[in-house]
Chains A and B, each alone.
Chain A
C-alpha cells in the first residue's frame, strides 16, 4: 500500500537526479566555451530516464543478474551512469571547440524550468499524501 503511494515519488526522484546531472553537464559546456579542443556533451534525457526507472527493454538496472555466489546485488535505487553523447559543432571552428553557446544556453534554461517542474510535482505529491493521511 505504501509502495503504491511512493511509486510516483520514486519516479520524480529519479527524474530530479537526472535533471541535476544534465544541469551539471550543460554548466560544464558553458564553462568550456573557450577551451580549445573541447567537445560539448549532453545526455538523451528520455532514454536515460527510461533506463533509470526500469521501463527500458534492457530491464531494471536494480535487478542485475547475480549468477555467481561472489556477485553483489545492486542496491535499491542504484542505476548505471547515463550514456553521454557528444554534440557536433554547428559551425566549423579553428580550435575544434564544439560548444554552441546559443544551444547550450537554451538547453540550460529549458532544463532548469523542467527541474523546477519536477520539484513542484514532488511537492504536490507530498501535499496530496499528507492531506490523505490527515483526512481533512
Chain B
C-alpha cells in the first residue's frame, strides 16, 4: 500500500526539520559567546539536506547529510577590560547572525507544520480506506 510510505517520507522530513531547528537553537544560544582559551569562538552551524529514496518510485524522503560550520571571522570588539580579551585588547565573538537564524527558524517551523499536516491528511484518508465497503 503506497500511502503508508507517506508516513516515512513526511516523518523523515519532520525529523530533518527538527534537526535544523536544533541547530538554529544552538546558534542563537551561542550568539554572544566569546572566544575561549584556545582563541576559537563558536562558529555558526548549518544543516545540509539531501533527498533519500524510500524504496518506491516517487517516494523521496529527506535526511541531513552534513552539518557545516560557517568559517567566516567572528565579530571583533575592542574591550581591554574583558576577561576574554587578547593581547591587543580585542574580544572575538561568535559569527552567528541572529537575523539569519530567526528567518531560518521560521522557515524550519513552517516546513515542519506542513509535513505534520500531510501526515494528518494521509492518516484520515487511510482510516477512511479501512472502512471501505461498510
Contacts and interface: CB of A to CB of B under 8 A. Distances in A.
Do A and B pair up? The answer is: yes
Q: Which DSSP category, helix, strand, loop or mixed, fits chain A's interface?
A: helix
B125 A24 contact: no
Given A20-B1, A20-B3, A122-B132, A31 B60 contact: yes
Contact of B6 (A23, A34, A105, A122): A23
A105 B13 CA distance: 16
Given A24-B58, A108-B121, A119-B128, A34 B2 contact: no
A28 B133 contact: no
A35 B3 contact: no
Interface string B107-134: 1100100110010011001001100111
Interface in A24-41: 24-36, 38, 41
The interface residues of chain B, by DSSP majority, are classed as helix
Interface string B84-117: 0000000000000000000000011001001100
A35 B16 CA distance: 10
B23 interface: no
A81 interface: yes
Contact of B125 (A105, A115, A122): A115
Interface in B29-64: 48-51, 54, 56-62
Nearest to B6: A27
A126 B20 CA distance: 48
Interface of A: 16-17, 20-21, 23-36, 38, 41, 81, 84, 101, 105, 108-109, 112, 115-116, 119, 122-123, 126
